Structure 1
Amino acid sequence: MTSDRKKSPMSTPGEWAVELHGVTRRYGRGRTAVHALRGIDLTLPPGTFTAVMGPSGSGKSTFLQCAAGLDRPTAGTVRLGGTEITGMKENKLTALRRTRLGFVFQAFNLLPSLTVEQNVALPTRLAGHRPDRRRTAEVLAQVGLADKARRRPGQLSGGQQQRVAIARALVTRPDVVFADEPTGALDTTTAAEILALLRHAVDTERATVVMVTHDPTAASWADRVLFLADGELTTHLDRPTPDQIATRMQTLAAHRADVKAAA
């Protein structure tokens, strides 16, 4: 697996993988209400890799949950692959997540009683379809685990388990893969291998990846890095280096500290 980081093809306006318009998320009411997101407007083309960063409490996790249909915004609209999911009934939303979205989490979230092959095929089974063994074998080969199909997760290293999770996320050829701190539990070398796999999926399969991370090195694999602060998108960097990302994060943290001190 190479770590080729060539720029992904960009779509023309109007062809978006992810659209958020005026998205807000408020928890509670009145003076004690917490405004996790404050009017997010965002469009992401297919075939791109986007990283989302921000200080602790900036709204990163809420952003990902609302964008992926795991949480409903208080106001605004979310569209994935051209389909509006904001008011979608839960059963239809669940079906959409199983067939058109992929998820990669820090904790892997594999079922220990199933084989690697069965874990990868799980989204297809849950959607009520017969697994395509050829497709399952294809994505396992892509992540370098063609010879581990009959193993169980407990027989694999952490990095191998995350590779299984990536294969599971890609098996249905989803509109978007949402990744939440996918390298947070991995060492530096293994993390780079996982990020190379996500980058490869974008560059070769035109997958769309949206990744929340706190790691500037991880974020530097993306085409664009978005920065959240206090529930708002404040700025972005295109194809930045880890040092550029770290500097921007320090600036955001310092600004936030100044605002709190003045309050």
Structure 2
Amino acid sequence: MGLRKRTAQNVQNGTALAADWAVELRGVRRQYGRGGSAVHALRGVDLTLVRGSFTAVMGPSGSGKSTFLQCAAGLDRPSGGTVRLGGTEITGMSENKLTALRRSRLGFVFQAFNLLPSLTVEQNVVLPMRLAGHRPDRRRAAEVLAQVGLDGLARRRPGQLSGGQQQRVAIARALVTRPDVVFADEPTGALDTRTAGEVLALLRQAVDQLGATVVMVTHDPTAAAWADRVLFLADGSIVDHVEGASAERIAARMTDVRAVA
């Protein structure tokens, strides 16, 4: 039985162990400013995400989606509570240790691709290895490029690729270090519908076939429908969730969330 199926079964049976969790947030708060002008971006979020799962996060504008992703990924420090990634508590880590952890154990996919135009596809993919101080593994780069359908394009530069191909490079870069978690922030926001579907299928494949854990922030119910579970944020709190839902059901829930936000 694969890791994803086994851990999902453990959760269903109520027997999941701490080792099964890829992401843990306990009482996470994030406040900006003080006094009457303070903004409470997150209000005591409690959440555990199982390894080998695909989670989408949705919510109205200003609901705390971006802050949630930044705190969960160690890009921002919570005002209170704890965050664990792959069993490692990151809340009190020094910035140097956090940077090293992000480079070696986390993957990131953004709407804007964030590829370096002067580097080849292969060089972009192995960049996390270089930044972590490791010798680039060209064989591993070729492996992940083949997995995302870019076999034979290693020596091209981003400007020679379509938007969908550039996002595939970004996914390959996110997967190259076999990270504990891949965080995706609106990864299909700049793509047309067909290409977006291809990219989402790759993220789904990374979960199902490679055992990756994906956490994706999105505003699109169609994108969210690729996930195992969809979390709905409103006013800094998780107010609802659905599992294995269609785009239509997710859109309906999102309408309800907006109505009470």
Common topology (TM > 0.5): yes
Distance in 2 between residues matched to 1:10 and 1:212, nearest whole Å: 25
Mapping for residues 77-92 of structure 1, pairs under 5 Å: 77-92=82-97
Q: Which residue of 2 aligns with 1:232?
A: 237
Distance in 2 between residues matched to 1:25 and 1:109, nearest whole Å: 26
Aligned-CA RMSD value: 0.9
CA contact (8 A) 2:4 2:51 kept: no
Q: Which residue of 1 aligns with 2:189?
A: 184
Q: Which residue of 2 aligns with 1:37?
A: 42
Q: Is 1:13 equivalent to 2:17 in the alignment?
A: yes
Q: Which residue of 2 aligns with 1:248?
A: 253
Q: Which residue of 2 aligns with 1:4?
A: none
Q: Is 1:170 equivalent to 2:166 in the alignment?
A: no
CA deviation string 1:172-221 (max 9, x = no partner): 00000000000000000000000000000000111000000000000000
CA contact (8 A) 2:144 2:176 kept: yes
Distance in 2 between residues matched to 1:10 and 1:161, nearest whole Å: 33
Partner amino acid for 1:249? M
Q: Is 1:48 equivalent to 2:53 in the alignment?
A: yes
Provide the secondary structure at the position in 2 that maps to 1:148: coil
Distance in 2 between residues matched to 1:253 and 1:10, nearest whole Å: 35
* Superposition TM-score, scaled by structure 2 size: 0.95
CA contact (8 A) 1:25 1:74 kept: yes
CA deviation string 1:16-44 (max 9, x = no partner): 10000000000000000000000000001
Q: Which residue of 1 aligns with 2:208?
A: 203
* Superposition TM-score, scaled by structure 1 size: 0.94
Distance in 1 between residues matched to 2:177 and 2:259, nearest whole Å: 42
Segments of structure 1 that go 5 or more residues without pairing to the other structure are 1-6, 257-263
Distance in 1 between residues matched to 2:222 and 2:17, nearest whole Å: 29
Q: CA offset at residue 8 of structure 1? A: 4.1
Q: CA offset at residue 10 of structure 1? A: 4.7
Mapping for residues 56-71 of structure 1, pairs under 5 Å: 56-71=61-76
CA contact (8 A) 2:107 2:175 kept: yes
CA contact (8 A) 1:10 1:48 kept: no
Number of equivalent positions = 250
Distance in 1 between residues matched to 2:245 and 2:46, nearest whole Å: 22
Provide the secondary structure at the position in 1 that maps to 2:5: coil
Distance in 2 between residues matched to 1:68 and 1:201, nearest whole Å: 19
Provide the secondary structure at the position in 1 that maps to 2:152: helix
Q: Is 1:22 equivalent to 2:27 in the alignment?
A: yes
Segments of structure 2 that go 5 or more residues without pairing to the other structure are 8-15
Mapping for residues 110-129 of structure 1, pairs under 5 Å: 110-129=115-134
Provide the secondary structure at the position in 2 that maps to 1:207: coil
Identical counterparts, % of pairs: 78
Provide the secondary structure at the position in 2 that maps to 1:184: coil
Provide the secondary structure at the position in 1 that maps to 2:184: strand
Corresponding residue to 2:109 among 86, 101, 104: 104
